[in-house]
Structure 1
Amino acid sequence: QNLSGIPSQENREISTYLWWMKRIPSQLCLKERTDFKFPWKRDNNTPIQMTQGTCYHHLILQQISNLFNTEESRAAWNNTLLDQLLSRLHHSLEQLWKQMDKDNLACPYWETVVRKYFQGIHRYLKGKEYSLCAWEVVRVKIGECLSLM
Protein backbone atom coordinates (compact mmCIF):
# COMPACT_ATOMS: atom_id res chain seq x y z
CA GLN A 1 0.00 0.00 0.00
CA ASN A 2 1.10 3.55 -0.57
CA LEU A 3 0.16 6.71 1.34
CA SER A 4 -3.23 7.01 -0.31
CA GLY A 5 -4.48 3.60 0.71
CA ILE A 6 -4.72 2.43 -2.90
CA PRO A 7 -2.45 -0.50 -3.64
CA SER A 8 0.69 0.47 -5.51
CA GLN A 9 -0.29 -2.22 -8.02
CA GLU A 10 -3.17 -0.03 -9.21
CA ASN A 11 -0.85 2.93 -9.76
CA ARG A 12 1.50 0.62 -11.68
CA GLU A 13 -1.37 -0.58 -13.87
CA ILE A 14 -2.40 2.98 -14.67
CA SER A 15 1.25 3.83 -15.41
CA THR A 16 1.50 0.75 -17.64
CA TYR A 17 -1.48 1.88 -19.72
CA LEU A 18 0.14 5.32 -20.04
CA TRP A 19 3.38 3.67 -21.17
CA TRP A 20 1.55 1.56 -23.77
CA MET A 21 -0.09 4.72 -25.12
CA LYS A 22 3.26 6.18 -26.21
CA ARG A 23 2.99 7.15 -29.88
CA ILE A 24 6.22 8.99 -30.59
CA PRO A 25 9.71 8.85 -29.06
CA SER A 26 9.89 11.21 -26.10
CA GLN A 27 13.27 12.49 -27.25
CA LEU A 28 11.59 14.10 -30.27
CA CYS A 29 9.66 16.31 -27.85
CA LEU A 30 12.47 17.52 -25.58
CA LYS A 31 12.04 21.14 -26.73
CA GLU A 32 8.37 20.99 -25.75
CA ARG A 33 9.02 20.03 -22.11
CA THR A 34 7.84 22.31 -19.33
CA ASP A 35 7.69 22.19 -15.54
CA PHE A 36 4.07 21.89 -14.44
CA LYS A 37 5.25 22.24 -10.81
CA PHE A 38 3.79 19.07 -9.33
CA PRO A 39 2.53 20.04 -5.84
CA TRP A 40 3.60 16.91 -3.94
CA LYS A 41 7.10 15.55 -3.47
CA ARG A 42 7.49 12.10 -1.95
CA ASP A 43 10.31 13.18 0.36
CA ASN A 44 8.39 15.99 2.09
CA ASN A 45 5.23 14.24 3.28
CA THR A 46 4.02 15.64 6.56
CA PRO A 47 1.63 13.77 8.88
CA ILE A 48 -1.21 16.02 7.67
CA GLN A 49 -0.43 15.21 4.04
CA MET A 50 -0.29 11.51 4.82
CA THR A 51 -3.72 11.52 6.48
CA GLN A 52 -5.17 13.29 3.46
CA GLY A 53 -3.41 11.01 0.97
CA THR A 54 -6.61 9.20 0.00
CA CYS A 55 -8.40 12.46 -0.74
CA TYR A 56 -5.41 13.84 -2.61
CA HIS A 57 -4.98 10.66 -4.66
CA HIS A 58 -8.68 10.73 -5.56
CA LEU A 59 -8.37 14.33 -6.76
CA ILE A 60 -5.30 13.53 -8.88
CA LEU A 61 -6.90 10.47 -10.50
CA GLN A 62 -10.13 12.39 -11.14
CA GLN A 63 -8.20 15.14 -12.91
CA ILE A 64 -6.20 12.58 -14.93
CA SER A 65 -9.49 10.98 -15.95
CA ASN A 66 -10.94 14.38 -16.90
CA LEU A 67 -7.81 15.19 -18.93
CA PHE A 68 -7.89 11.98 -20.96
CA ASN A 69 -11.68 11.82 -21.31
CA THR A 70 -11.86 14.58 -23.94
CA GLU A 71 -12.33 14.83 -27.70
CA GLU A 72 -8.78 16.17 -28.01
CA SER A 73 -7.45 13.14 -26.18
CA ARG A 74 -9.49 10.76 -28.35
CA ALA A 75 -7.96 12.39 -31.43
CA ALA A 76 -4.41 11.92 -30.09
CA TRP A 77 -4.42 8.41 -28.62
CA ASN A 78 -5.24 4.83 -29.58
CA ASN A 79 -8.85 4.68 -28.39
CA THR A 80 -8.66 1.04 -27.26
CA LEU A 81 -5.75 1.83 -24.93
CA LEU A 82 -7.40 5.08 -23.88
CA ASP A 83 -10.59 3.23 -22.94
CA GLN A 84 -8.54 0.73 -20.90
CA LEU A 85 -6.79 3.59 -19.10
CA LEU A 86 -10.10 5.32 -18.36
CA SER A 87 -11.60 2.05 -17.12
CA ARG A 88 -8.68 1.48 -14.73
CA LEU A 89 -8.92 5.08 -13.51
CA HIS A 90 -12.66 4.66 -12.94
CA HIS A 91 -12.08 1.48 -10.91
CA SER A 92 -9.42 3.17 -8.74
CA LEU A 93 -11.63 6.23 -8.26
CA GLU A 94 -14.50 4.04 -7.05
CA GLN A 95 -12.23 2.41 -4.47
CA LEU A 96 -10.92 5.75 -3.29
CA TRP A 97 -14.44 7.20 -3.11
CA LYS A 98 -15.55 4.35 -0.84
CA GLN A 99 -12.55 4.94 1.43
CA MET A 100 -13.16 8.70 1.53
CA ASP A 101 -16.83 8.18 2.31
CA LYS A 102 -16.01 5.69 5.08
CA ASP A 103 -13.43 8.05 6.61
CA ASN A 104 -15.57 11.16 5.99
CA LEU A 105 -12.67 12.89 4.24
CA ALA A 106 -12.69 16.29 2.62
CA CYS A 107 -9.66 18.24 1.47
CA PRO A 108 -10.52 21.71 0.15
CA TYR A 109 -6.88 22.83 0.22
CA TRP A 110 -5.80 19.96 -2.02
CA GLU A 111 -8.77 20.53 -4.32
CA THR A 112 -7.43 24.00 -5.06
CA VAL A 113 -3.81 22.85 -5.46
CA VAL A 114 -4.67 19.93 -7.75
CA ARG A 115 -7.13 21.97 -9.83
CA LYS A 116 -4.49 24.68 -10.43
CA TYR A 117 -1.90 22.07 -11.41
CA PHE A 118 -4.20 20.50 -14.00
CA GLN A 119 -5.38 23.90 -15.26
CA GLY A 120 -1.73 24.51 -16.13
CA ILE A 121 -1.63 21.24 -18.06
CA HIS A 122 -4.84 22.12 -19.94
CA ARG A 123 -3.45 25.59 -20.80
CA TYR A 124 -0.21 24.01 -22.02
CA LEU A 125 -2.05 21.55 -24.28
CA LYS A 126 -4.30 24.27 -25.67
CA GLY A 127 -1.31 26.57 -26.26
CA LYS A 128 0.44 23.77 -28.15
CA GLU A 129 -2.78 23.08 -30.09
CA TYR A 130 -2.96 19.55 -28.67
CA SER A 131 0.05 18.45 -30.72
CA LEU A 132 1.36 14.91 -30.39
CA CYS A 133 4.50 16.24 -28.71
CA ALA A 134 2.44 18.21 -26.20
CA TRP A 135 0.43 15.10 -25.38
CA GLU A 136 3.66 13.09 -25.09
CA VAL A 137 5.07 15.60 -22.59
CA VAL A 138 1.83 15.40 -20.59
CA ARG A 139 1.78 11.59 -20.75
CA VAL A 140 5.30 11.45 -19.31
CA LYS A 141 4.51 14.01 -16.60
CA ILE A 142 1.37 12.15 -15.54
CA GLY A 143 3.45 8.98 -15.24
CA GLU A 144 5.94 10.84 -13.05
CA CYS A 145 3.07 12.21 -10.98
CA LEU A 146 1.76 8.69 -10.34
CA SER A 147 5.20 7.43 -9.37
CA LEU A 148 5.36 10.03 -6.58
CA MET A 149 2.11 8.91 -5.01
Structure 2
Amino acid sequence: MNNRCILQLALLLCFSTTALSLSYNLLRLQQFNSSVECQKLLEQLNGRPADCLSDRMDFKIPKEIKHPQQFQKEYTAFVIYEMLKDIFHVLERGYTNPGWNETIVTDLLAKLNHQMDLLNTTVVGKLGEENKRQAYSMIILRLKSYYVRIRTYLDAKEYSSCAWTVVRDELYWNFSFINRLTDKFQN
Protein backbone atom coordinates (compact mmCIF):
# COMPACT_ATOMS: atom_id res chain seq x y z
CA MET A 1 0.00 0.00 0.00
CA ASN A 2 2.75 2.45 0.95
CA ASN A 3 4.67 1.59 -2.22
CA ARG A 4 1.61 2.44 -4.34
CA CYS A 5 1.26 5.86 -2.64
CA ILE A 6 4.96 6.55 -3.10
CA LEU A 7 4.71 5.58 -6.78
CA GLN A 8 1.67 7.82 -7.29
CA LEU A 9 3.38 10.69 -5.51
CA ALA A 10 6.53 10.23 -7.61
CA LEU A 11 4.48 10.22 -10.84
CA LEU A 12 2.56 13.31 -9.75
CA LEU A 13 5.80 15.11 -8.93
CA CYS A 14 7.31 14.08 -12.28
CA PHE A 15 4.27 15.27 -14.25
CA SER A 16 3.98 18.56 -12.37
CA THR A 17 7.71 19.28 -12.89
CA THR A 18 7.34 18.52 -16.61
CA ALA A 19 4.26 20.76 -16.84
CA LEU A 20 6.05 23.60 -15.04
CA SER A 21 9.05 23.21 -17.35
CA LEU A 22 6.80 23.38 -20.42
CA SER A 23 5.08 26.43 -18.93
CA TYR A 24 8.43 28.21 -18.49
CA ASN A 25 9.52 27.29 -22.02
CA LEU A 26 6.30 28.67 -23.48
CA LEU A 27 6.60 31.77 -21.29
CA ARG A 28 10.21 32.21 -22.44
CA LEU A 29 9.21 32.08 -26.11
CA GLN A 30 6.26 34.45 -25.67
CA GLN A 31 8.31 36.86 -23.57
CA PHE A 32 11.18 36.93 -26.05
CA ASN A 33 8.86 37.54 -29.04
CA SER A 34 7.01 40.28 -27.20
CA SER A 35 10.26 42.02 -26.20
CA VAL A 36 11.45 41.99 -29.81
CA GLU A 37 8.13 43.51 -30.89
CA CYS A 38 8.50 46.24 -28.25
CA GLN A 39 12.00 47.02 -29.52
CA LYS A 40 10.65 47.32 -33.07
CA LEU A 41 7.95 49.72 -31.87
CA LEU A 42 10.55 51.83 -30.06
CA GLU A 43 12.65 51.92 -33.24
CA GLN A 44 9.65 53.32 -35.14
CA LEU A 45 9.51 56.36 -32.88
CA ASN A 46 11.46 59.40 -34.07
CA GLY A 47 15.17 58.88 -34.60
CA ARG A 48 18.00 60.62 -32.82
CA PRO A 49 18.44 64.27 -33.78
CA ALA A 50 22.13 65.13 -34.26
CA ASP A 51 22.09 67.79 -31.53
CA CYS A 52 20.94 65.35 -28.79
CA LEU A 53 24.34 63.77 -28.19
CA SER A 54 25.04 66.19 -25.35
CA ASP A 55 21.85 65.00 -23.59
CA ARG A 56 23.02 61.39 -23.27
CA MET A 57 23.19 60.01 -19.76
CA ASP A 58 24.13 56.80 -18.01
CA PHE A 59 21.16 55.94 -15.83
CA LYS A 60 23.16 53.10 -14.22
CA ILE A 61 20.98 50.03 -14.59
CA PRO A 62 21.72 47.66 -11.69
CA LYS A 63 24.58 45.28 -12.46
CA GLU A 64 22.43 42.29 -11.49
CA ILE A 65 20.23 43.05 -14.50
CA LYS A 66 23.24 43.06 -16.81
CA HIS A 67 24.57 39.80 -15.33
CA PRO A 68 21.57 37.78 -14.11
CA GLN A 69 23.39 34.47 -13.46
CA GLN A 70 22.32 34.28 -9.80
CA PHE A 71 18.57 34.65 -10.34
CA GLN A 72 16.16 31.78 -9.84
CA LYS A 73 13.38 31.43 -12.42
CA GLU A 74 10.73 32.75 -10.06
CA TYR A 75 12.77 35.80 -9.07
CA THR A 76 13.66 36.43 -12.69
CA ALA A 77 9.98 36.53 -13.64
CA PHE A 78 9.33 38.97 -10.81
CA VAL A 79 12.24 41.22 -11.88
CA ILE A 80 11.04 41.20 -15.51
CA TYR A 81 7.53 42.00 -14.35
CA GLU A 82 8.80 44.97 -12.34
CA MET A 83 10.90 46.21 -15.28
CA LEU A 84 7.90 46.04 -17.62
CA LYS A 85 5.73 47.83 -15.08
CA ASP A 86 8.27 50.64 -14.67
CA ILE A 87 8.82 50.96 -18.44
CA PHE A 88 5.05 51.20 -18.80
CA HIS A 89 4.90 53.98 -16.18
CA VAL A 90 7.74 55.93 -17.78
CA LEU A 91 5.93 55.92 -21.12
CA GLU A 92 2.42 56.34 -19.74
CA ARG A 93 2.87 58.96 -17.05
CA GLY A 94 5.16 61.42 -18.69
CA TYR A 95 4.36 60.97 -22.33
CA THR A 96 4.27 64.47 -23.74
CA ASN A 97 6.49 64.20 -26.80
CA PRO A 98 4.39 65.63 -29.62
CA GLY A 99 6.78 64.21 -32.24
CA TRP A 100 5.94 60.61 -31.41
CA ASN A 101 3.25 58.69 -33.22
CA GLU A 102 0.51 58.16 -30.66
CA THR A 103 -0.61 54.90 -32.29
CA ILE A 104 2.86 53.40 -31.86
CA VAL A 105 2.98 54.45 -28.21
CA THR A 106 -0.50 53.01 -27.64
CA ASP A 107 0.57 49.73 -29.29
CA LEU A 108 3.71 49.66 -27.16
CA LEU A 109 1.73 50.24 -23.95
CA ALA A 110 -0.72 47.48 -24.95
CA LYS A 111 2.16 45.08 -25.63
CA LEU A 112 3.73 45.90 -22.25
CA ASN A 113 0.40 45.39 -20.53
CA HIS A 114 -0.01 42.02 -22.25
CA GLN A 115 3.49 40.95 -21.18
CA MET A 116 2.76 41.92 -17.57
CA ASP A 117 -0.53 40.01 -17.59
CA LEU A 118 1.19 36.93 -19.03
CA LEU A 119 3.94 37.01 -16.41
CA ASN A 120 1.48 37.70 -13.62
CA THR A 121 -0.83 34.81 -14.47
CA THR A 122 2.01 32.37 -15.21
CA VAL A 123 4.48 33.03 -12.40
CA VAL A 124 4.38 36.28 -10.44
CA GLY A 125 0.83 35.90 -9.13
CA LYS A 126 1.71 32.43 -7.84
CA LEU A 127 4.74 33.52 -5.84
CA GLY A 128 4.19 33.53 -2.13
CA GLU A 129 4.54 36.76 -0.18
CA GLU A 130 7.86 35.58 1.28
CA ASN A 131 9.29 34.96 -2.19
CA LYS A 132 8.07 38.38 -3.33
CA ARG A 133 9.74 40.02 -0.32
CA GLN A 134 13.01 38.20 -1.02
CA ALA A 135 12.95 39.17 -4.68
CA TYR A 136 12.05 42.72 -3.69
CA SER A 137 14.90 43.05 -1.25
CA MET A 138 17.41 41.55 -3.68
CA ILE A 139 17.16 43.86 -6.67
CA ILE A 140 13.83 45.61 -6.98
CA LEU A 141 14.80 48.58 -4.81
CA ARG A 142 17.86 49.28 -6.99
CA LEU A 143 15.73 48.77 -10.08
CA LYS A 144 13.11 51.22 -8.81
CA SER A 145 15.86 53.80 -8.21
CA TYR A 146 17.05 53.32 -11.78
CA TYR A 147 13.58 54.14 -13.17
CA VAL A 148 13.24 57.09 -10.79
CA ARG A 149 16.49 58.44 -12.30
CA ILE A 150 14.95 58.12 -15.76
CA ARG A 151 11.77 59.96 -14.74
CA THR A 152 13.80 62.61 -12.89
CA TYR A 153 15.90 63.11 -16.01
CA LEU A 154 12.77 63.62 -18.11
CA ASP A 155 11.44 66.10 -15.55
CA ALA A 156 14.76 67.99 -15.45
CA LYS A 157 14.86 68.17 -19.25
CA GLU A 158 11.20 69.23 -19.29
CA TYR A 159 10.26 66.23 -21.42
CA SER A 160 12.13 67.65 -24.39
CA SER A 161 12.37 65.78 -27.65
CA CYS A 162 16.04 65.04 -27.00
CA ALA A 163 15.30 63.75 -23.51
CA TRP A 164 12.67 61.39 -24.90
CA THR A 165 15.15 60.21 -27.53
CA VAL A 166 17.71 59.40 -24.84
CA VAL A 167 15.06 57.64 -22.74
CA ARG A 168 13.73 55.77 -25.76
CA ASP A 169 17.24 54.45 -26.44
CA GLU A 170 17.63 53.45 -22.78
CA LEU A 171 14.31 51.61 -22.80
CA TYR A 172 15.32 49.87 -26.02
CA TRP A 173 18.32 48.41 -24.16
CA ASN A 174 16.04 47.41 -21.29
CA PHE A 175 14.39 44.91 -23.62
CA SER A 176 17.78 43.40 -24.44
CA PHE A 177 18.32 42.92 -20.71
CA ILE A 178 14.81 41.49 -20.37
CA ASN A 179 15.65 38.97 -23.09
CA ARG A 180 18.79 37.97 -21.20
CA LEU A 181 16.73 37.52 -18.07
CA THR A 182 14.15 35.56 -20.04
CA ASP A 183 16.84 33.08 -21.02
CA LYS A 184 16.89 32.09 -17.34
CA PHE A 185 13.51 30.42 -17.91
CA GLN A 186 15.34 27.77 -19.97
CA ASN A 187 17.63 26.63 -17.13
TM-score (norm 2): 0.69
User: 1:121 maps to which residue?
Assistant: 150
Distance 1:122 1:101, change over 3 A: same
Q: Is the 8 A contact 2:77 2:119 kept in 1?
A: yes
- The residue type paired with residue 121 of structure 1 is I
**Counterparts of residues 129-140 of structure 1 (less than 5 Å):** 129-140=158-169
Please, which runs of 5 or more residues in structure 2 have no aligned partner? 1-23, 179-187
**Counterparts of residues 6-17 of structure 1 (less than 5 Å):** 7-17=31-41
Please, which runs of 5 or more residues in structure 1 have no aligned partner? none
Q: Is the 8 A contact 2:60 2:146 kept in 1?
A: yes
Does 2:175 match 1:143?
no
TM-score (norm 1): 0.86
2: CA distance, partners of 1:9 / 1:148: 14
- Runs of 4+ aligned structure 1 residues displaced above 2 Å come to 4-7, 24-28, 40-51, 74-77, 102-105
Distance 1:43 1:144, change over 3 A: closer
- Within the candidate set 111, 119, 126, 1:102 is matched to 126
2: CA distance, partners of 1:147 / 1:40: 14
| RMSD, aligned α-carbons | 2.3
> Which sits farther off after the overlay, 79-88 or 106-115?
106-115
Q: Is the 8 A contact 1:18 1:139 kept in 2?
A: yes
**Which structure shows the higher helix fraction?**
2
Shift of residue 37, structure 1, vs aligned partner: 0.3
- Within the candidate set 78, 83, 89, 2:101 is matched to 78
- The residue type paired with residue 124 of structure 2 is M
Q: How many residues align?
A: 146
Larger radius of gyration: 2
Shift of residue 114, structure 1, vs aligned partner: 1.6
2: CA distance, partners of 1:68 / 1:25: 17
Q: Is the 8 A contact 2:74 2:127 kept in 1?
A: no
> Which sits farther off after the overlay, 23-32 or 51-60?
23-32
